[in-house]
Amino acid sequence: MSGLLSTLAVFDLETTGVDVGTARIVTAHVGVIGPDGEPLESRAWLADPGVEIPAGASAVHGISTEHAREHGAPAAQVVAEILDALRELLARPLPLVIYNAPYDLSLLRAEALRHGLAPLGRPAPVVDPLVIDKAVDRYRRGKRTLEAAAAHYGVALSGAHDAGVDAIAAGRVAQALAERHAAALPATVDELHAAQIAWHDAQSDSFEDYMRRERDHRFTADRGWPVRR
């Protein structure tokens, strides 16, 4: 394909948990896909996170504490190399696709600070297919996981929860979104980045309103895109 989202950087993490402040990186993928969605560059990491990997997390991504300790590189080294790889791709510049960007980027920021490294700050331009999909097809029923989005947009996804598989699939979903919903998207990736900030704020407000009405009147949604506030 050509146009708004052609050659893209892609990024995904598999981790020890869902709390971005305490979870640790287990595996990571940083790569580049071309206009046809095929990989052009790829780097992968396996880290020894320095903590036990909970059984629930291992069941998702398949990496046990023992395997990570035996085969993984030190966490500080892995985090530093991921940061360097992302900075290099953003400097080219290439749009960086991350499905549910605030999770991966906020966790990466916490890991950087944990190991005394300079975080990315607020990288741009970032492309988050989750935010875009919710904005351009707001009323579609069903889940909005990467697996569900891939199925909806006709993107093959075999072996989900492998960082490389998920990163590449997210990039292909972004390309499919750009083709199917071209009329609803801004003309440039910088404008798209700015639009996603506003879209994510609106989506967070809507989710918070729903949760306060239906489940917990004190609920507060996470805000901040592409990195949580």
- How far apart CA 24 and CA 100 sit, in angstroms, is 17
CATH number at residue 122: 3.30.420.10
Residue 150 counted as domain residue = yes
Would you state the pLDDT for residue 128?
98
Helix axes 189-214, 129-136, angle to 10 degrees: 70
Residue 227 counted as domain residue = no
- How far apart CA 88 and CA 43 sit, in angstroms, is 13
- How far apart CA 209 and CA 229 sit, in angstroms, is 19
* Angle at the Cα of 99 from the Cα atoms of 68 and 8, rounded to 5 degrees: 100
Residue 95 counted as domain residue = yes
206 near 138, Cβ under 8 Å? no
Residue 55 counted as domain residue = yes
In what order do the strands lie in the sheet containing 39-48? 73-74, 39-48, 25-33, 8-15, 96-97, 126-127
Residue 229 counted as domain residue = no
Q: Give the CA distances from residue 167 to residues 61, 137, 213, in Å, rounded to whole numbers and listed in that order.
A: 14, 22, 35
Amino acid at 190: D
Domain containing 146: what range? 8-184
Would you state the pLDDT for residue 158?
83
Would you state the pLDDT for residue 183?
95
Would you state the pLDDT for residue 2?
47
Residue 44 counted as domain residue = yes
202 near 74, Cβ under 8 Å? no
Burial 36-66 (b: 16+ CB within 10 A, else e): ebeeeeeeebbbbbeeebeeebbeebebbbe
- pTM score, whole prediction: 0.95
Q: Residue 41: in which H helix or E strand, if any?
A: strand 39-48
Name which of 127, 91, 124 is nearest 8 in CA terms: 127
Count the domains in the chain: 1
Residue numbers in the chain where pLDDT is lower than 70: 1-2
Would you state the pLDDT for residue 160?
72
Residue 140 counted as domain residue = yes
Would you state the pLDDT for residue 45?
98
Would you state the pLDDT for residue 147?
96
Residue 110 counted as domain residue = yes
Q: Give the CA distances from residue 11 to residues 137, 171, 205, 211, 226, in Å, rounded to whole numbers and listed in that order.
A: 24, 9, 27, 30, 13
